[in-house]
Chains A and B, each alone.
Chain A
Amino acid sequence: MAMSAQAIEARALRKTYDSTRGVFRREKVTRVALRGVDLAIERGELFGLLGPNGAGKTTMVKIFTTLLLPTSGAATVLGLDVVKDEWALRRRIGFVFGGERGLYWRLSGLDNLRYFADLYRVPPEVSRRRIPELLERLGLAGRERDRVELYSRGMKQRLHLARGLLNDPEVLFLDEPTIGLDPVGARELRVIVRELADAGKTIFLTTHYMFEADAICDRIAVIKAGEIVAEGTPRSIKTLVEDQGVVEFEVVGLPRERLDELRGLPGVSSVAVAEHELAQLVTVHCARPSEVMTQLSAALDGLKLEKLSSREPTLEDAYVQLIGDAET
Chain B
Amino acid sequence: MGVSRIASEVAVFARSTYFQYVALFQWASVRGYVAYKILLPVDQMLFFVELGAYATGPENAAYFALGNALQLTANAGIFGVIATVANERHFGTLPILLGSPANRLVTFMSRAVVNVLDGIVTVIIGFAIAIGLFGLDLHHANIPLLALCVVVVSLSTAGLGLMFGSIGLVMRDAIIVANVIYYVMLVLCGVNFPVSRLPGAVQLISYSLPLTRGVEAAREAVAGASFGQVAGLLGGELLVGLAWALAGYALFATLEGWARRGGMQEAY
Contacts and interface: CB of A to CB of B under 8 A. Distances in A.
Interface of A: 17-18, 59, 62, 65-69, 87, 90-91, 95, 97, 99, 101-107, 111, 114-116, 118-121, 123-124, 163
10 contacts: A59-B263, A62-B263, A106-B22, A106-B23, A107-B22, A111-B23, A115-B20, A118-B12, A121-B101, A121-B102
Contacts of B101: 87, 90-91, 119-121
Interface in B132-173: none
Contacts of A104: 19, 23-24, 91, 93
A275 to B, nearest CB: 31
Contacts of A17: 262-263
Contacts of B91: 101-105
B100 interface: yes
Nearest to A106: B23
Nearest to B260: A69
Given A66-B260, A90-B100, A124-B12, 4 more contacts: A67-B95, A67-B260, A69-B260, A118-B16
B102 A119 contact: yes
A103 B92 CA distance: 7
Contacts of B15: 114-115, 118
Q: Is the interface of B mostly helix, strand, loop or mixed?
A: helix
Contacts of B1: none
B140 to A, nearest CB: 44
B3 to A, nearest CB: 15
B95 A107 contact: no
A99 B268 CA distance: 14
Contacts of B93: 101-104
Contacts of B99: 65-67, 90, 95
Contacts of A115: 15-16, 19-20, 23
A40 B24 CA distance: 40
A105 B93 CA distance: 11
A126 B196 CA distance: 59
Contacts of B260: 66-69
Nearest to A83: B260
B31 interface: no
B96 interface: yes
B265 A67 contact: yes
A213 B194 CA distance: 69
A91 B101 CA distance: 6
Contacts of A119: 16, 96-97, 100-102, 107
Contacts of A66: 99, 260
B8 interface: yes
A69 B264 CA distance: 11
A115 B88 CA distance: 13
B19 to A, nearest CB: 4
Nearest to A62: B263
Contacts of A65: 99
Interface in B95-115: 95-102, 107
Contacts of B95: 62, 67, 97, 102
A195 B28 CA distance: 39
Contacts of A163: 96
A67 B259 CA distance: 8
Contacts of A62: 95, 263, 266
A52 B265 CA distance: 23
Interface in B192-249: none
A127 B99 CA distance: 19
Contacts of A118: 12, 15-16, 19, 102
A120 B100 contact: yes
B169 to A, nearest CB: 12
A123 B12 CA distance: 9
B128 interface: no
Contacts of B28: 106
B11 A124 contact: yes
Given A104-B19, A105-B91, A111-B19, A69 B261 contact: yes
Nearest to B20: A115
Interface string B70-106: 0000000000000000000001110111111110000
Contacts of A116: 96, 100
A111 B107 CA distance: 17
B134 to A, nearest CB: 35
A101 B88 CA distance: 10
A107 B92 contact: no
A62 B262 CA distance: 11
Which of B16, B24, B99, B102 has the largest number of chain A CB atoms within 10 A?
B99
A87 B11 CA distance: 23
Nearest to B257: A69
Contacts of B107: 119
A111 to B, nearest CB: 6
A76 B247 CA distance: 33
Contacts of B8: 123-124
A212 to B, nearest CB: 23
A277 B8 CA distance: 61
A67 B266 CA distance: 10
Nearest to A93: B99
Complex A-B, nearest 7 residue pairs according to Cβ-Cβ distance, in ascending order: A101-B92, A104-B23, A115-B19, A90-B101, A119-B100, A119-B102, A102-B92
A114 B23 CA distance: 12
A111 B91 CA distance: 15
B197 to A, nearest CB: 39
